[in-house]
Structure 1
Amino acid sequence: QFPTPIHQWNLPNLPEGTEVWIKRDDLSGMQLSGNKVRKLEFLLSDAVAQGADCVITVGGIQSNHCRATAVAAKYLNLDCYLILRTSKLLVDQDPGLVGNLLVERLLGAHIDLVSKEEYGKIGSVALADLLKKRLLEEGRKPYVIPVGGSNSLGTWGYIEAVRELEQQIQLSGDVQFDDIVVACGSGGTIAGLALGSKLSSLKAKVHAFSVCDDPEYFYDYVQGLIDGLQSGLDSHDIVSIQNAKGLGYAMNTAEELKFVKDIATATGIVLDPVYSGKGAYAMLKDMADNPSKWKGRKVLFVHTGGLLGLYDKVDQMSSLAGSWRRMDLEESVPRKDGTGKMF
């Protein structure tokens, strides 16, 4: 559902003269919501062009990318095979129907679970290749999509998103952004945004807050993606990457989860705990610590979706949720039968 809306985001405690706007890529669709849709537009087109009858991809147990891939594959009449990473204690158990898993399993996606230890030892590429080999032996025609849809082809999704943004700015006629901010988990989104901004009329500075791995890992990863597009550019020159992983990928401190709740209450924007929540938390912390860096600037934050991931945090967030009560009904309130009695 493109173009996704842009509107001002009334965040609290911003530096003097700073405006934050938000690009609502969380509204790119319901089952297909989030930034992964833009990459899948190119990747699944390639799968169809190559005559694939199924796709394989890899991710965490609550991967937004895997859910979006399963949905988009079904739209195109392709079977979907998901290799999902989970804990050693849960790898032999039914993964349940929480969040993204509910959508994937309703769609009939084939799910293979691996432990985090197995994943770390074997790696996502080798795991996908193993499943691809088995499917080929069965006479299938599989197409492998990398983790997060992040390869040079998938990067075009956010190069196109920058073109969309250019058109929206031209139509509005009064908003020019100095900075674009996004949470970074697999590298493809920031590579596309950074390269797109460099090649466009925007010339906005792109900031990424990494929610897994360290900034140098992502600088190298982005370099590989833009080299694949023969850009001739240095990743350090087109994007600024800061660490926001905290306790680790898909792990949250109590303060981060409280931030997600407080922002929802204050602004009506629900962030996801894995990506946009950590990204916005780190952005506001950097604004508080370095106000002169952001003073007077117009900042566009890209909300990359992931609402379903909140369901996996219910136990941790239950104490933060809003209160409830049974409605107090006075005795004088007429009852439906006119008797004034409750049944």
Structure 2
Amino acid sequence: MTTQYESLFQRFRRTQLLEGPTPIQRLHRLEHVLGTGVRLFVKRDDLMGLGGGGNKLRKLEFLLGEAIEQGCDTFITTGGLQSNHARLSAASAARAGLACELILTEVVPRTDVAYRRNGNILLDEIFGARIHLLDGMENALYFADERAEVLKKEGRRPYVVGAGGSSPVGCLGYAACATEIAEQELAIDGGFAHIVLANGSSGTHAGLAAGFTAMGMDTARVRSYAVLNTAEKTQKTTRDLASATLSLIDTTKSIAPNTIDVVGNQLGDGYGIPTPAMLSAVRTMARTEGLLLDPVYTGKAFAGLLSEVNSGAHRDGDAILLLMTGGLPGLFAYQPAFEDALRVS
């Protein structure tokens, strides 16, 4: 399948950051504990060697490719204080020999030392990124564009991309991943009934939707859980971004109406704010499969999936794929939240 659709991406400059396809693993122990008859699988996009791994590397392959093709020497991007995208941008830029500047905004109401100094932001500094810290009211992308103008006057050649690397070019990473999943699921009896993931800046869901549409496959089976904005806003952003990404791949096709499935019941009080369901879900995955989920993205998506499975929303024998997008360093930034939860577990 992947070979058949390689031509979709050949015209785009790509910087190799992955060592190959990430594995899909079956969660046998979790299935046994749940006892529902639903087959559960996880795609290990956390298993990437560069920078601690994670889904943003797929986007960065195309973003850095474009930056290098344009002769840029500085990669500028935005994100929250504990942004996984920022961490992997810093690591990838270091690998590619580019300078990296991160415009980080304090968007999560946490002031504890673990959140402000541990996790991703610690690694940003280790990877050599220059960090500009803004308060939650400032426009990070506007600041990034202004910073780029300053660098241009100094003779530098900056490349700017917004939060999550979720531009149409960045989304090509998950359009390509859709072809990877399509090939891997040939080994799964009946294929995947649903593919479940978290949705923040919408680039991962949008890329998958564009990729599956380009291959003529079912886009509606991709279900994401909104973790940044409301489901309604996230759905619109995802649909628009998927359409823009698809237009880069194949102008003869379009995203079919009502095929972008976004659920909003795991957002809780907002982005990056722990929920009891997420804390429980992270413990469940750790204690059944020995796998660690991040608290901001996949932890909330897995909480949603557990709720679906336990409520009987899926049929006996259905195969469900959870996209594990990485973000492990975030666990260390949320140490106080997990410590409090463990006291009562």
Query: Residue type matched to 1:81 in 2?
Result: E
Output the CA distance in 2 between the equivalents of 1:234 and 1:316.
39
TM-score normalized by the length of structure 2: 0.84
* Counterpart amino acid of residue 4 in structure 1: T
Match status 1:71 vs 2:87: no
Structure 1 match to 2:240 = 224
- Residue 104 (1) aligns with residue 124 (2): yes
Instruction: Name 2:327's counterpart in structure 1.
Output: 306
User: C-alpha displacement at 1:176, in angstroms?
Assistant: 1.4
Relative distance call for 1:314 and 1:90 in structure 2 (3 A) is closer
Deviates more, 1:40-49 or 1:227-236: 227-236
Q: Does 1:59 align with 2:75?
A: no
Structure-1 separation of matches of 2:271 and 2:314: 27
- Give the Cα separation in 2 of the matches to 1:305 and 1:88: 19
Once residues 239 and 319 of structure 1 are traced to their aligned partners in structure 2, the CA distance between those partners, rounded to angstroms, is 36
Q: CA 1:32–1:141 in 2, change beyond 3 Å: closer, same or farther?
A: farther
Query: Residue 186 and residue 36 in structure 1: after superposition, are their counterparts in 2 closer, same or farther (change >3 A)?
Result: same
Q: In 2 relative to 1, CA 159–40 (structure 1 residues): closer, same or farther, beyond 3 Å?
A: same
Indicate the residue corresponding to 2:25 in structure 1: 7
Q: Which amino acid aligns with 2:209?
A: A
Q: CA deviation at 1:129?
A: 1.1
Aligned residue number for residue 317 of structure 2? 296
Distance 1:207 1:183 in 2: 9
- Bigger Rg, structure 1 or 2: 1
Q: For the residues of structure 2 that align with 1:39 and 1:18, how far apart are their CA atoms?
A: 31
Does 1:286 find its partner at 2:308? Answer: yes
Does the residue aligned with 1:116 lie in a helix, a strand or coil? coil
Identity of aligned residues (%): 35
Question: CA-atom RMSD, angstroms?
Answer: 2.6
CA contact (8 A) 1:177 1:202 kept: no
Residue 247 in 1 paired to residue 269 in 2? yes
Matched to 2:132, the amino acid is D
Deviations 1:110-150 (A, max 9, x none): 000001122xxxx3331221211221222211000221010
In structure 1, distance between residues paired with 2:259 and 2:223? 9
Number of corresponding residues: 315
Matched, 1:269 2:291: yes
Unaligned runs of 5+ in 1: 323-343
Identify which of 256, 259, 262 aligns with 1:238: 259
Q: Does structure 2 retain, via aligned residues, the 8 Å contact 1:169–1:176?
A: yes
Q: Is the 8 A contact 1:219 1:236 kept in 2?
A: no
Within 1, Cα distance between the matches of 2:258 and 2:107?
38
Structure 2's unaligned 5+ residue stretches are 1-18
Q: Deviations over 1:240-296 (max 9, x none)?
A: 10012112111102442133123201221111000000000012113333x144443
1-side partners of 2:108 and 2:21: how far apart? 41
Using the TM superposition, name which of 1-10 and 296-305 deviates more.
1-10
Question: Which residue, 194, 207, 210 being the options, matches 1:195?
Answer: 210
Q: C-alpha distance in 1, partners of 2:331/2:108?
A: 22
